[in-house]
Amino acid sequence: MKCSVFIATSVDGFIARKNGSVNWLQTAGNKNADMSDQADMGFNQYLASVDCIIMGRKCMETISSMDLPPEQWPYGNIRIIVLSTTITQAPDNLRDKVEMYAGNIKILITKLSTEGYQHAYIDGGMTIQAFINQQLINHITITRAPILLGSGISLFGETHKDIELEQTQAIVFPNNFIQVKYSVNYK
């Protein structure tokens, strides 16, 4: 089963402020840029390639706090599994959209694969780290916003060993965001 990451960071590598806020994503970059057909910077095309999402609890809580109406829900009917060892039920506004999981992630991937799932979108800093350290991530797409936060929640933390990333593509968007796509090589 393919597991990949599609995430935005500040130039200094943070995915959120220390309090979990990602409001800087709305203000960073050139707001007057003509993004034409690139307004989502490839997210919808990426989302169309996945058949399930595995995210961490904090990521789910951030989405829950947005309290999106059904017409703004970005994930359609994609199956979403939330990893958490601290809570067993999703917030009320996500209860019919996500399922909770507290077990081993390799067992989860094997189970999803045997159920016919082929491509999982992995989201959330600690979740991405756990998947990388278990050598489960195949591809990483990082979209860097033109902003320095100075501190916050880092995308990458400690790894068990060096992990080589092979650059496959880089895209510069008119709004000054830069997207880099990597294949992961665990050698």
pLDDT tens for each residue of 73-108: 999 999 999 999 999 999 999 999 999 999 999 999
Token pair 């294949």 in the structure block, residue: 183
Instruction: Say how far residue 36 (Cα) sits from the centre of its chain.
Output: 24
What is the pTM (predicted TM-score) of this model?
A: 0.93
Provide the pLDDT for residue 46: 96
Confidence of residue 177 (pLDDT cuts 50, 70, 90): very high
Provide the pLDDT for residue 99: 97
Q: What is the mean pLDDT of the chain?
A: 94
